[in-house]
Amino acid sequence: MRLTFPRMGNSHIPFKALFETAGVEVVTPPPSTRRTVNLGSRYAPEFACFPLKLNIGNFIEAAELGADTVVMAGGIGPCRFGYYAQVQDAILRDIGRHLDLVVLEPPCLGWAGLLRQVKKVTGGCGAGTLLKAIRLAWAKCCAVDEVERLGREARPFERVTGSVTAAVDRALQMIDSASTVAGVKSVLGKSSDMILGCSRPGAPRVRIGIVGEIFMILDGFSNLEMERRLGEMGVYVHRFLSMSDWVRSNLLPKSFAPPGEKDLIEGAKPWLNHFVGGHGVESVGGAATYARMGFDGVIQIMPFTCMPEIVAESVLRNVTRDLDVPVLTVSLDEHTGEAGLQTRLEAFVDLLSRKRALHGRGVGSR
Ligand code: SF4
């Protein structure tokens, strides 16, 4: 078996560690490029969500490198994630790529099924080895989240434009190379000095909270490096969603749900008080929470045609009205251009800076 998986941001780092430590041969999908998008868009239905198209491109490119099995998460609820795997399977068969798809359904659908699928991909590895693999992968998952967070903190104040991004990339490579949990912890300590060392003390121009669909938030390629763009404009960027949260929500029992998830769901209640699929409720709760925390604005990132985020978008207008927080919705797909996105971000940041000045709150500079 030569195993591959969808590429979502830096999630390949813990996934690779998990399966390689369990003794499985892994084919990491190459970093997404225009070719990946073109492959996915050519074979997926036009109105499929962008992550599905990108996944198809990832799988084809991994198959070209010899992958024969795909492992991916399943889903439930009123959005299309629940039948992603079936649609992708049908598309791959239609184009003659016979990859075996192994779907890890959430534990709420039954532990027996989940364990059967885990056994299918980890083969004959013993419980001790599997535990070791899970511990290393989890350490890497949390370390990646932390390095990305440090990047967001330091970027608005970097001395040399691009130096924080370069330090983050170096740190991610070091995490990828670490082979033990102790090694990951040691890399994390060094990374923190390396990333924060690129910045100087200062005040951000404005503070923006990011909400939206998790794949698009975590995958820098898909969102055209929005966090980096904003950081390099001197904007402090914060997001509640992270990769470890995604694992907790999708692959672990409810008792392991991310610590802040309940607060976001509660925070959304005055405007949206039922599950709409994906992270639609968290987007509304996140925007309301950012407004209460005094953030200057919110950016909602979503794939074009994403159902939960379309519901959230319509509700966010009421959050803006009630809590006076500007929200910019950015809907992305294979047709989105960098120049257009950059212009929209610059205009939004200018608007927030002026609003901040009007309210007598100082505006930081770069
Ligand atoms: S959350 Fe949105 S993008 Fe993700 S599967 Fe559902 S509809 Fe598609």
Sole residue written with tokens 């992708």: 88
Is residue 219 scored above 70 in pLDDT? yes
Q: Are residues 217 and 180 in the same domain?
A: no
Instruction: Tell me the average pLDDT across 303-314.
Output: 96
State whether the beta carbon of 307 lies less than 6 angstroms from ligand 1: yes
Is residue 362 scored above 70 in pLDDT? no
Q: Is residue 310 part of a domain?
A: yes
Q: Are residues 102 and 153 in the same domain?
A: no
State whether the beta carbon of 44 lies less than 6 angstroms from ligand 1: no
Confidence (pLDDT) at 363: 58
Number of domains in the chain: 3
Q: Are residues 196 and 214 in the same domain?
A: no
Q: Is residue 133 part of a domain?
A: no
Q: Is residue 183 part of a domain?
A: yes
Q: Are residues 84 and 180 in the same domain?
A: no
Give the other-Cβ count within 10 Å of 338's Cβ: 10
State whether the beta carbon of 218 lies less than 6 angstroms from ligand 1: no
Q: How confident is the model at residue 58 (pLDDT cuts 50, 70, 90)?
A: very high
Q: Are residues 173 and 219 in the same domain?
A: no
Q: Are residues 10 and 67 in the same domain?
A: yes
Structure-block tokens of residue 45:
């239905």
DSSP E strand boundaries for the chain: 2-4, 25-26, 69-73, 100-104, 206-212, 235-239, 297-303, 327-332
State whether the beta carbon of 302 lies less than 6 angstroms from ligand 1: no
d(CA 269, CA 44): 36
Q: Is residue 51 part of a domain?
A: yes
Q: Are residues 219 and 294 in the same domain?
A: yes
* pTM, to two decimals: 0.93
Atom of ligand 1 nearest to the CA of 215: 4
Q: pLDDT tens digits, residue range 97-137?
A: 989 999 888 777 777 777 788 888 887 788 899 899 999 99
Structure-block tokens of residue 85:
């795997």
Picking from 70, 100, 125, the residue at the C-terminal end of a domain is 125
* Residue having the nearest C-alpha atom to atom 2 of ligand 1: 306
Q: What's the 142 CA to ligand 1 centre distance in angstroms? A: 24
Q: Is residue 6 part of a domain?
A: yes
DSSP SS3 for 208: strand
Q: Is residue 43 part of a domain?
A: yes
Mutate to test the pocket of ligand 1, among 46, 49, 214 (most ligand atoms within 8 A of CB): 49
Q: Residue 265 sits in which domain range?
A: 205-366
Which DSSP string do the residues of 50-115 spell out, in sequence order? HHHHHHHHHHHHHHHTT--EEEEE---SSSGGGGHHHHHHHHHHHTT--PEEEEE--GGG-HHHHH
What residues does 73 pair with on adjacent strands?
104
Confidence (pLDDT) at 364: 58
* Residue having the nearest C-alpha atom to atom 7 of ligand 1: 306
Long-range contacts of 188-194 (CB under 8 A, 24+ apart): 188/143, 188/146, 188/147, 191/143, 191/147, 191/150, 191/167, 192/146, 192/150, 194/167, 194/170
Give the other-Cβ count within 10 Å of 162's Cβ: 12
Confidence (pLDDT) at 366: 53
Q: Are residues 154 and 225 in the same domain?
A: no
CATH number where 293 lies: 3.40.50.11900
Picking from 157, 180, 202, the residue at the C-terminal end of a domain is 202
d(CA 299, CA 39): 29
Q: Are residues 31 and 102 in the same domain?
A: yes
Q: Is residue 110 part of a domain?
A: yes
Q: Are residues 165 and 255 in the same domain?
A: no
Is residue 365 scored above 60 in pLDDT? no
DSSP SS3 for 205: coil
Q: Are residues 271 and 151 in the same domain?
A: no
Confidence (pLDDT) at 267: 95
Closest by Cα among 231, 206, 244, 240 to 152: 231
- Please, what is the average pLDDT of the chain? 92
Q: Are residues 215 and 359 in the same domain?
A: yes
CATH number where 29 lies: 3.40.50
Picking from 94, 125, 156, the residue at the C-terminal end of a domain is 125
Q: Is residue 234 part of a domain?
A: yes
